[in-house]
Chains A and B, each alone.
Chain A
Amino acid sequence: MTTIITVTSGKGGVGKTTTSASIASGLALRGFKTAVLDFDVGLRNLDLIMGCERRVVYDFVNVIQGDANLHQALIKDKHADNLFVLPASQTRDKDALTSEGVEKVLKELEHQGFDYVVCDSPAGIEHGAVIALTFADEAIVVTNPEVSSVRDSDRILGIIQSKSRRAIEGREPVKEHLLVTRYDPKRAHEGEMLTYTDIQELLRIPLLGVIPESEVVLQASNQGIPAIHQKGTPVADAYQDAIGRFLGEEHPLRFVEYEKPGLLKRLLGGK
């Protein structure tokens, strides 16, 4: 049985690709055979975040159109065993990802014994975003503590509940998870920013985790190594916790409370 996880948000730039890369890597590090698929046709970026951009030969659309087989197009990750990347196509034809084509690729991944397929959705609520969530078993809704992101997350939840195969066929609904990213405990504490509990109250879906805002993410993307590999940093730990919860483990939330820096720290100019 392959579980299909779609990472989605409606809004762009909230951390979907960062999250797809880290969640897929984390699942693979735990021993699950995992593939991460870039659905952002025309704006391929997952390859850069995964650090495999120079090894891209064939892409998702090539496989769908029969120019290459899946085996040729899947790129083996350098940082985790059991992990494979399927890059998006840079073609400008957004409709190249047909639902029959995507379904065929997903079936084949299942056939090859993949445990998890992580689908990195493009922004928006158009064709690309819809096709990325069509076959989802579980959805990770990435949301920033900011008004337009929360509203767009609610829109995308509506689309999951109406346009996913599970919804259309009246099967058990897609399991929805809220992942709050780019969270700044200090600004939330000071009432400048929505808190994660505010967001959860508004969206009313279970909280998978809270990923703090951190410069580590930029450092990770600069190097093409998913943030989850930056061991010992709050971002990596928060992603690890989220994966644990996804797999049914219990972990208390970390990095969500603001701690006033002590006098010494302030004098020494620590952050």
Chain B
Amino acid sequence: MSLLSLIFGEKKHTASVAKERLQLIIARERVGLSGPDFLPDLQKDLVAVISKYVPIDPADIKVALEKQGNYEVLEVNIVLPEGR
């Protein structure tokens, strides 16, 4: 915080953050995906499928929903074991 804002007690402009977060969650809840609740199941299914081909530690598959600009991105991160 700058000296000026300390003196004048400038407050944070957080309303825009609130609006962005609401846009995302409301859009998601409207299509019936109430929160990222399906992510754990998706993760488990991915582990099962990939294990058929490569031995893998379940913890090495990570899934997440992220917002990039106007899009929502489903990010799947799979780390294959080394030394093969």
List the B residue with the shortest CB-CB distance to A190.
B11
Whether B12 lies near A192 (C-beta < 8 A) is: yes
7 further A-B contacts with Cβ under 8 Å, apart from A147-B18, A194-B18, are: A146-B18, A154-B26, A190-B13, A193-B15, A194-B15, A194-B22, A198-B19
Whether B26 lies near A192 (C-beta < 8 A) is: no
Considering the chains assembled together, what is the distance between the CA atoms of A87 and B71 in angstroms? 48
What would 25 A/B residue contacts be, using CB atoms closer than 8 Å?
A146-B18, A147-B18, A147-B21, A147-B22, A150-B26, A151-B22, A151-B29, A154-B26, A154-B29, A154-B30, A155-B29, A158-B29, A190-B11, A190-B13, A191-B13, A191-B14, A191-B15, A191-B16, A192-B14, A192-B15, A194-B15, A194-B19, A202-B19, A202-B23, A202-B26
Quote the shortest CB–CB distance from A154 to chain B (angstroms): 5
The answer to the question of A188 belonging to the interface, with a C-beta cut-off of 8 Å to chain B, is: yes
Bits for A190-208, please: 1 = Cβ < 8 Å to B, else 0: 1111110010011100000
Quote the shortest CB–CB distance from B28 to chain A (angstroms): 11
Quote the shortest CB–CB distance from B10 to chain A (angstroms): 9
List the A residue with the shortest CB-CB distance to B18.
A147
Considering the chains assembled together, what is the distance between the CA atoms of A194 and B20 in angstroms? 11
Interface of A is mostly: helix
Considering the chains assembled together, what is the distance between the CA atoms of A147 and B17 in angstroms? 10
Whether B22 lies near A202 (C-beta < 8 A) is: yes
The answer to the question of B25 belonging to the interface, with a C-beta cut-off of 8 Å to chain A, is: yes
Considering the chains assembled together, what is the distance between the CA atoms of A176 and B51 in angstroms? 51
Considering the chains assembled together, what is the distance between the CA atoms of A198 and B12 in angstroms? 18
Whether B15 lies near A188 (C-beta < 8 A) is: yes
| Interface residue range, chain A | 10 to 19
Considering the chains assembled together, what is the distance between the CA atoms of A190 and B10 in angstroms? 10
Considering the chains assembled together, what is the distance between the CA atoms of A168 and B69 in angstroms? 37
Give chain A interface residues in 137-181, CB to chain B under 8 Å. 146-147, 150-151, 154-155, 158
List the A residue with the shortest CB-CB distance to B10.
A190
Considering the chains assembled together, what is the distance between the CA atoms of A190 and B14 in angstroms? 10
Whether B22 lies near A150 (C-beta < 8 A) is: yes
Whether B30 lies near A195 (C-beta < 8 A) is: no
Give chain B interface residues in 1-59, CB to chain A under 8 Å. 11-16, 18-19, 21-23, 25-26, 29-30
Residues in B with CB closer than 8 Å to A194 are: 15, 18-19, 22
Considering the chains assembled together, what is the distance between the CA atoms of A191 and B18 in angstroms? 10
Quote the shortest CB–CB distance from B26 to chain A (angstroms): 5
Whether A151 lies near B19 (C-beta < 8 A) is: no
Considering the chains assembled together, what is the distance between the CA atoms of A188 and B13 in angstroms? 10
Whether B22 lies near A192 (C-beta < 8 A) is: no
6 closest cross-chain pairs (CB), A and B? A191-B13, A154-B26, A198-B19, A191-B15, A147-B18, A194-B15
Quote the shortest CB–CB distance from A38 to chain B (angstroms): 29
